[in-house]
Amino acid sequence: MENKLKAEHLILKEEITKFLNGELSAADLKHSAAPFGIYQQRDDLFMTRIRITGGHLAVSELNIIADIIDKNNIGYAHLTTRQDIQLQGVPPENIYATIRACTKGGLPFKGGGGNTFRNIAVSPDSGIASDSVFDVIPHAKTLTDFIFTWNKAFDLPRKLKIGFASSPKDELMAATQDLGFVAVIKNEKPGFKVYGGGGMGRDSALGIKLFDFIPVEEVPRCALAMTELFYDHGDRTNRNKARIRFIVKRLGNENFLELFNEYFKKTSFAVKHFPGWELKLETKTKIFSKQSMNENWLKHAVSPTRFGNDVVSVRIFVPKGNLNAGQLRKLAEASNRYGCSFIRLTPGQDIVFPLVQRSALSELYMFLKTQLKDIDLTLESFKGHITCCLGSTVCKIGILDAPALGNELAAQLDKADIKAESYSKILDMIKISGCPNSCAGHPTACIGMQGQKKKIDDKLENVYNIFTKTDGKAFALAEAGDYLVKQDDVPDKILEILKQNFKELSV
Ligand code: SF4
């Protein structure tokens, strides 16, 4: 595997050298660089996307990433809504060194972008929350290892996104993947309910149910069948209609299901041993002293786990999902002292310390407060905490500056009289994407915003299409087009929607 990656990286290195010598345009470099998750930014520096399966990251890897950032003169790390880590502001001459350093550090560089199998998304509290059916991270990791050996998975008509939900509450996440698995136990056997053909972007769609139940051993076979189907039937002529959801649309649900079953039947994928470990509690023997803690921090950031009253998880609200090398190192130190050997990245662009002894909370709080001063632990303000994509100031294909709207909306929410306990709920409800590509995942939000340009009275205006899902539907995509609002008017409109539809939040 390492040799194969090295050979692929060497080919990429040649292309980067040609680009640096002016023999290749940025657009031509994109053909070979995008499948590795390497894209040029608006400022002509580059972004390199590290896939972190299920957002499950060893603490030691935080330090590796911090060292790579420093050594290669990289701007910062950005946590994505798909649980990847993007290195932003990579000088072109350091791209190759960056991807090789990541690979050597156990962060294999492949399939971060382009028409490939992308990072597998997983419920961030998998194996931790009390409603977690079982920990699905091992299945996501094992499947990733299998798929890395399938050449077709890296030569698809368009991207292939797979997700694992560890509990019924995450079913929407699974149903909006090209292939989504929801953990189920049937007759005491662990397995999955399976959805296919969902996705966000143009014509977002919920997937159709492929199986009520498959045992865990059948997961790779199911993924291989979908990969083969997509490879053979995806539209390679029109990129905008290439995702699996468009095959479903073209054939209709029943015919798609029939086609999938044909592929599934003819696919054999013998898995003799499908490793499945269950998350074990790492115990810390140290007894910590009790100090007073900020009540808001306890309210917003600390959640119960299935490991009893003495063990909690702690969410770190990362401003705009951005962290510099120093902050990454401090977080690693905090986790090593007070947490466990791994962290989880969330689709809300935050970090979770999954297992923290309750007795360690006061010391953890003091450490974070004194060592990570730029991080608003207690949600004093909404600023920097609303889930936004990078937006058009960084992203070359973006239309509007989503984080700028995020800040305007945050200022408006800060002025409103919102009770403290509603803060984190509101944060989890709102997502803003700077264009229809939906990188912030706005179609699944209770209140999602999608940036676009529209001619109004002969003037091209910045507008947001506001998606809402205000009737409490547990399993639906938000519907677009209820409101098309000029950017400046969006904060007022959102406040109005919150007041009218979410009275329990006391906005
Ligand atoms: S949603 Fe659009 S603007 Fe935002 S990061 Fe994705 S492609 Fe760029």
How confident is the prediction along the chain (507 residues), in pLDDT tens digits per residue?
A: 677 888 889 999 999 999 999 999 999 999 999 999 999 999 999 999 999 999 999 999 999 999 999 999 999 999 999 999 999 999 999 999 999 999 999 998 888 999 999 999 999 999 999 999 999 999 999 999 999 999 999 999 999 999 999 999 888 789 999 999 999 999 999 999 999 999 998 889 999 999 999 999 999 999 999 999 999 999 999 999 999 999 999 999 999 999 999 999 999 876 766 655 566 666 554 556 666 778 889 989 999 999 999 999 999 999 999 999 999 999 999 999 999 999 999 999 999 999 999 989 999 999 999 999 999 998 889 999 999 999 999 999 999 999 999 999 999 999 988 887 788 889 889 999 999 999 999 998 999 999 999 998 889 999 999 999 876 666 778 877 668 899 999 999 999 998 888 776 666
CB 160 within 8 A of CB 227: yes
Q: How far, in Å, is the centroid of ligand 1 from the Cα of 131?
A: 33
Q: How far, in Å, is the centroid of ligand 1 from the Cα of 426?
A: 22
Q: How far, in Å, is the centroid of ligand 1 from the Cα of 128?
A: 31
Hey, what amino acid is at 42?
R
Whether 387-505 and 129-266 are alike in CATH topology: the answer is yes
CB 204 within 8 A of CB 197: no
State the number of CA atoms in the 13 A half-sphere of 76 facing the CB: 14
Q: Which CATH number fits domain 295-371: 3.30.70.3340, 3.40.50.10490, 3.40.50.720, 3.30.420.40?
A: 3.30.70.3340
* CA neighbor of 338 nearest in space, from 263, 285, 279: 285
Q: Does the Cβ of 390 fall within 6 Å of ligand 1?
A: yes
CB 182 within 8 A of CB 210: no
List alpha helices for 153-252, DSSP H.
171-175, 219-233, 244-251
| Topology given in CATH for the domain delimited by 129-266 | Sulfite Reductase Hemoprotein; domain 1 (3.30.413)
Domain layout of the chain by residue ranges: 2-104, 129-266, 295-371, 387-505
CB 178 within 8 A of CB 244: yes
Q: Does the Cβ of 81 fall within 6 Å of ligand 1?
A: no
β-pair type (479-486, 459-468)? antiparallel
Mutate to test the pocket of ligand 1, among 80, 82, 435 (most ligand atoms within 8 A of CB): 435
Rounded Cα gap, residues 213 and 193, in angstroms: 5
pLDDT score of 285: 44
The residue whose CA has the least distance to atom 8 of ligand 1 is 398
What does R_g of the chain's alpha carbons equal in angstroms?
22
Q: How far, in Å, is the centroid of ligand 1 from the Cα of 84?
A: 15
* CA neighbor of 113 nearest in space, from 29, 175, 179, 44: 29
Q: How far, in Å, is the centroid of ligand 1 from the Cα of 398?
A: 5
Mutate to test the pocket of ligand 1, among 397, 405, 431, 467 (most ligand atoms within 8 A of CB): 397
Sequence-distant (≥ 6) Cβ neighbours of residue 494 within 8 angstroms: 409, 412, 413, 430, 447, 449, 466
Per DSSP, 165 falls in state: E
Q: Does the Cβ of 394 fall within 6 Å of ligand 1?
A: no
| Residue reference for tokens 């509990």 | 167
Mutate to test the pocket of ligand 1, among 433, 450, 462 (most ligand atoms within 8 A of CB): 433
Hey, what amino acid is at 41?
Q
Mutate to test the pocket of ligand 1, among 390, 392, 400, 438 (most ligand atoms within 8 A of CB): 390
Q: Relative to the CA of 435, which ligand 1 atom is closest? A: 2
Hey, what amino acid is at 92?
P
Sequence-distant (≥ 6) Cβ neighbours of residue 163 within 8 angstroms: 120, 121, 122, 173, 174, 176, 177, 179, 180, 181
CB 228 within 8 A of CB 278: no
Q: How far, in Å, is the centroid of ligand 1 from the Cα of 388?
A: 9
Superfamily of segment(s) 387-505: Sulfite Reductase Hemoprotein, domain 1 (3.30.413.10)
Per DSSP, 340 falls in state: -
Confidence (pTM): 0.93
Hey, what amino acid is at 267?
T
Q: How far, in Å, is the centroid of ligand 1 from the Cα of 223?
A: 27
Rounded Cα gap, residues 46 and 485, in angstroms: 32
Q: How far is CA 359 from CA 125, 240, 311, 364, 465, in A?
A: 21, 52, 9, 10, 46
Q: Relative to the CA of 437, which ligand 1 atom is closest? A: 1
Q: Relative to the CA of 399, which ligand 1 atom is closest? A: 3
CB 445 within 8 A of CB 430: yes
Torsion of CA 185, 188, 189, 194, to 10 degrees: -20
Rounded Cα gap, residues 121 and 92, in angstroms: 29
| Residue reference for tokens 């590795």 | 36
Q: Does the Cβ of 389 fall within 6 Å of ligand 1?
A: yes
pLDDT score of 268: 83
For the record, the structure tokens of 376 come out as 């608003």
pLDDT score of 287: 54
Q: Does the Cβ of 37 fall within 6 Å of ligand 1?
A: no
Strand residues in 298-391 grouped as ranges (E): 302-304, 311-316, 322-323, 342-345, 351-357, 387-388
Rounded Cα gap, residues 101 and 38, in angstroms: 15
Q: Which CATH number fits domain 2-104: 3.10.129.10, 3.40.50.2000, 3.90.550.10, 3.90.480.20?
A: 3.90.480.20
